[in-house]
């Protein structure tokens, strides 16, 4: 019996979630499986991978073949590296302590990369929200200014309409100013 480690789809339309399952290669995608070893949610940023790494490693060492997507996820989590190092230990190329040390170093570096990615995503979201808020405040200020100008114009028009019409003749104060010669 050929055993595969692959994804089984769960969730509703356009909100897919997947189970990482160990199954017979002849069974359908969402059909019967031997063991569920994790979950995968591609809709989060970064994608959420919950995996029982020990069970996945045990199945890989027993000859289970991962699908391409699951192989990428196992590689991302370090299970494929652990398998590679364990094969080296079995062949006598390295000792178990060296393999464990290399795996620990790799995992610590990977965790730092993941944390920096999460921080960058949250920082980008905050900057976008701040820029959006500033743009909205500028629009709000422009609208308030336009409303203020419109109110001033309406008040000036109402004031002009309320005053009696000025006579066509010049008032005594304005007459001497008009007679002064310009130098």
pLDDT band (50, 70, 90) for residue 28: confident
CA distance 142 to 124: 27
Residues 6+ apart with CB under 8 A from 73: 20, 40, 49, 51
Which residue in 127, 112, 109, 121 sits closest to 46, CA to CA?
121
Q: CATH for 3-94, among 2.130.10.10, 3.40.640.10, 3.30.1320.10, 3.40.50.10860?
A: 3.30.1320.10
Each residue's pLDDT tens digit, 43-89: 987 789 999 999 999 999 999 999 999 999 999 999 999 999 999 99
In this prediction, residues 136-163 reach a mean pLDDT of 89
Lowest mean pLDDT among 21-35, 122-136, 143-157, 167-181: 167-181
């Amino acid at each position: 019996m050929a055993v595969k480690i692959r994804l089984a789809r769960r969730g509703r339309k356009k909100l897919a979630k997947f189970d990482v399952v160990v199954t017979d290669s002849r069974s359908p995608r969402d059909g019967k499986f031997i063991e569920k070893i994790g979950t995968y949610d591609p809709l989060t940023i970064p994608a959420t991978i919950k995996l029982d790494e020990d069970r996945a490693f045990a199945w890989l060492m027993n000859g289970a073949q991962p699908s391409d997507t699951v192989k990428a996820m196992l590689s991302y989590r370090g299970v494929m590296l652990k398998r590679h190092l364990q094969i080296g230990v079995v062949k006598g190329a390295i000792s178990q302590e060296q393999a464990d040390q290399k795996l620990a170093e790799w995992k610590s570096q990977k965790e730092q990369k993941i944390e920096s990615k999460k921080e960058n995503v949250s920082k980008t979201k905050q900057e976008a929200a701040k820029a959006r808020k500033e743009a909205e405040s500028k629009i709000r200020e422009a609208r308030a200014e336009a409303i203020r100008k419109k109110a001033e114009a309406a008040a000036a028009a109402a004031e002009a309409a309320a005053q009696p019409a000025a006579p066509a003749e010049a008032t005594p104060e304005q007459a001497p100013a008009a007679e002064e010669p310009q130098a």
